[in-house]
Amino acid sequence: MLLQTPLSFFFLASGMVMGSTALNVNETLFSPVNELRHLVHRVGSVGLRLPGSQVHNELVNWISHSLHKIQGVEVQESRYDLITWEPKVGKNLSESGSLCIELKGKCHNIPIVGAIPYTLPTNGSSLTGPLIYIPPNQSISSVDVRGKIILREYAPLPVPNAYLFKDAYYISPDLAAQLNGTYERPYLSTPAVDLIDPVKVELMAS
């Protein structure tokens, strides 16, 4: 499925604000706590928003619209085509797919925790095969994976919190204790290249 996304939008917008180091913020004109909460809620409450999906584009349009209203802010947008998939419209991942392990002829459902956006989906019919685990440091091409369902992990990638805040104008005292910590999420790391190469993924599925 070919989707369109203004992916670079956020970077351009934030780059311009970050770049103006001489800018002083007048705190009496700064958004009050309630408004900031509302903004964060608006972004955090839309659910799954894969790049290019309808939900994602609606949110980007809203941010774009909001930025255009700010005097002195120049907004630029670049559009990219990308090939990806999204769950059935209005459905979450759990409703769009399923995974079960057969034990003694009985199917045990496994909760779906996530999906890799740029991999190929199945054609709608279910696939079955032996489940094998390939560790992150091993290439899929070194294993005979034909007809098998493969379990792979994203290796965790800890990012220092201090790095995330390095461009902040101001850090409130309650965040100071967090600065020595790390922001660690598995999806921050790059998945093994053999997970995102469509040719190899297709081989896996055949």
Ligand X SMILES: *[C@@H]1O[C@H](CO)[C@@H](O)[C@H](O)[C@H]1NC(C)=O
Per-residue x/- track, 171-200, ligand X (CB under 6 A): -----xx--x--------------------
- The residue behind tokens 């399923």 is 98
Can residue 138 be called a binding residue for ligand X (CB under 6 A)?
Answer: yes
Tell me which amino acid residue 190 is: T
User: What is Dmax (Cα atoms) for the chain?
Assistant: 68
The CB-based long-range contact list for 24-27 (8 Å cut-off, 24+ gap) reads 25/169, 25/170
User: Which of residues 26, 45, 71, 172 is near ligand X by CB under 6 A?
Assistant: 26
Task: Select 120 or 196, whichever has its Cβ closest to ligand X.
Answer: 120
In terms of Cβ atoms closer than 10 Å to its own Cβ (0-12, 13-18, 19+), residue 146 is: exposed
Cite the beta strand spans of the chain per DSSP E.
2-5, 80-83, 99-103, 106-110, 131-133, 149-151, 157-160, 182-185
Tokens of 115: 């999906």
Q: How far apart are CA 129 and CA 150, in angstroms?
A: 9
The minimum distance between CB 81 and ligand X, in angstroms, equals 25
Only segment of 23-31, 98-106, 151-159, 193-201 that touches ligand X (CB under 6 A): 23-31
Can residue 21 be called a binding residue for ligand X (CB under 6 A)?
Answer: no
Q: How far apart are CA 6 and CA 143, in angstroms?
A: 38
User: Which of residues 2, 29, 89, 103 is near ligand X by CB under 6 A?
Assistant: 29
Per-residue x/- track, 60-99, ligand X (CB under 6 A): --------------------------------x-xx----
Can residue 153 be called a binding residue for ligand X (CB under 6 A)?
Answer: no
User: Which of residues 21, 28, 34, 172 is near ligand X by CB under 6 A?
Assistant: 28
The minimum distance between CB 168 and ligand X, in angstroms, equals 16
3-class DSSP assignment, residue 75: coil
Residue numbers at the binding site for ligand X (CB under 6 A)? 26, 28-29, 92, 94-95, 123, 125, 135, 137-138, 176-177, 180
